[in-house]
């Protein structure tokens, strides 16, 4: 028989090697329990009627889905009972969610079901998370941390049983769920340098609404690459991490109905863009916004701040960044 290294064994070795505490393990255990629990509801969702609308509107002004509510409740439960989290910021809650405000150690930024257009079909969605650490040297300073200050970030692609985690200065690792529902077999992810497998990923329906310079750049490059788009950041980014290329959600600035423009971008900085940017950076890639500024450098001003996103293989991101910087 063949037994693979488990995630818990991997992370324990990592903590010991770097002389770190066990607190992070407890936090990771909470996140993994939440992801497994969400996956269970997702897999049985069509039969139980959990893949539809919940009848409300979330902080982003979007229709809330039943799965959003279930996943939020599950995640908050596990994070709170870990005792390790000071506050969480979640896509589903307008306000910061206080947890163990005195004794907690981590700030956690989450989107428990990202890619909701896939939910009615039971197709892949992401559970995205970023983790920052409490300011141990003085008073806590507001919880709005730029991605470069995250200590880890990751995503579960639900219900595929894949989990990717990046640890600060220690790489990006992918795990797969085994028959006991444990995540096992750490595989170090590095974006392939050979452009043969690179992909382009963006919502083609928006193309004419991008800035002219972005449209021109796409037109010059696209023939060289395969085009793939699922509409769920975790799923699309999962492919980019394996195959290389670029995922883009540019600013919408030329929409025929100007009220539909999104000059600030669509994706949320703290629990979408910075999470994939962090994973990409640890895998040798890069990520920038519409001004060509590295996503990891952006200091958020509010919890649900949006941004444009260009993330993937360094040569492509560098190239578009130069154009965006003008
Ligand atoms: P939803 O959760 O509202 O579907 O948003 C998902 C998402 O933030 C991200 O996961 C996708 O990459 C992107 O939006 C898809 O957006 P479009 O449907 O506009 O292509």
Assign 188 to helix, strand or coil: strand
Q: What is the model's pLDDT at position 142?
A: 66
Could you tell me what percent of the chain has a pLDDT over 90?
Answer: 86
pLDDT digits (tens, 9 = 90+) for 206-216: 999 999 999 99
* SS3 at position 286: strand
Atom 16 in ligand 1: which residue has the minimum CA distance? 231
Does the CB atom of residue 101 touch ligand 1 within 6 A?
A: no
Mean pLDDT value across the chain: 94
User: How far is the CA of 62 from the CAs of 54, 68, 91, 117, in angstroms?
Assistant: 11, 11, 11, 11
Rg (CA), the chain: 19
Among 141, 159, 40, CA closest to 86: 141
The pLDDT score that the predictor gives to residue 139 is 66
Quick check: CB of 203 below 6 Å from ligand 1? Answer: yes
Global pTM exceeds 0.85? yes
Q: How far apart are CA 183 and CA 163, in angstroms?
A: 7
pLDDT tens digits, 126-156: 999 999 998 877 666 668 999 999 999 999 9
Tokens representing residue 137 in the block: 């040297």
Note the pLDDT of residue 278. 98
SS3 assignment, position 88? strand
Ligand 1 site, residue 267, Cβ cutoff 6 A = yes
117 lines ligand 1 (CB under 6 A): yes
| pLDDT mean by block of 10 residues, the chain; 326 residues | 94 91 95 97 91 80 86 97 96 92 93 95 97 80 88 98 97 96 97 97 97 97 95 98 98 95 97 98 98 97 96 98 96
Residues 12/25, Cβ–Cβ less than 8 Å: yes
Residue nearest to atom 18 of ligand 1 (CA): 231
Check if 120 has its Cβ closer than 6 Å to any atom of ligand 1: no
Q: In this predicted model, what pLDDT tens digit does every residue of 287-324 receive, in sequence order? A: 999 999 999 999 999 999 999 999 999 999 999 999 99
Q: Does ligand 1 lie within 6 Å of residue 231's CB atom?
A: yes
Protein residue with least CA distance to atom 19, ligand 1: 203
For residue 289, give the nearest of 313, 273, 301, 312 by alpha carbon: 273
Q: Whose CA is nearest to atom 1 of ligand 1?
A: 115
């Amino acid at each position: 028989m063949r037994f693979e290294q488990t995630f818990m064994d991997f992370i324990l070795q990592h903590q010991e090697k770097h002389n770190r505490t066990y607190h992070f393990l407890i936090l990771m255990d909470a996140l993994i329990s939440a992801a497994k629990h969400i996956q269970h509801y997702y897999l049985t969702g069509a039969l139980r009627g959990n893949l539809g609308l919940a009848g409300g509107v979330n902080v982003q002004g979007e229709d809330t889905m039943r799965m959003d509510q279930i996943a939020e409740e599950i995640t908050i439960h596990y994070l709170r009972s870990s005792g390790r989290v000071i506050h969480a910021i979640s896509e589903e809650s307008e306000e910061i969610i206080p947890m163990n405000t005195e004794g907690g150690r981590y700030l956690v930024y989450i989107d428990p079901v990202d890619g909701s257009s896939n939910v009615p079909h039971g197709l892949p969605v992401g559970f995205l998370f970023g983790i920052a650490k409490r300011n141990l040297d003085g008073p806590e300073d507001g919880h709005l941390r730029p991605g470069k200050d995250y200590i880890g970030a990751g995503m579960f692609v639900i219900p595929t049983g894949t989990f990717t985690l990046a640890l600060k200065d220690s790489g990006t690792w992918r795990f797969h769920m085994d028959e006991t529902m444990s995540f096992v077999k750490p595989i170090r992810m590095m974006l392939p340098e050979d452009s043969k497998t690179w992909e382009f990923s963006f919502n083609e329906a928006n193309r004419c609404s991008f800035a002219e310079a972005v449209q021109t750049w796409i037109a010059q490059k696209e023939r060289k690459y395969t085009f793939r788009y699922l509409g769920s950041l975790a799923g699309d980014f999962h492919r980019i991490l394996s195959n290389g290329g670029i995922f883009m959600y540019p600013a919408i600035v030329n929409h025929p109905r100007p009220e539909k423009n999104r000059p600030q971008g669509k994706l949320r900085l703290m629990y979408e863009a910075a999470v994939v940017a962090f994973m990409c950076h640890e895998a040798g890639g890069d990520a920038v916004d519409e001004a060509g500024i590295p996503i990891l450098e952006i200091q958020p001003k509010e919890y649900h701040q949006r941004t444009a996103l260009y993330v993937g293989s360094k040569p492509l991101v560098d190239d578009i960044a130069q154009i965006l910087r003008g």
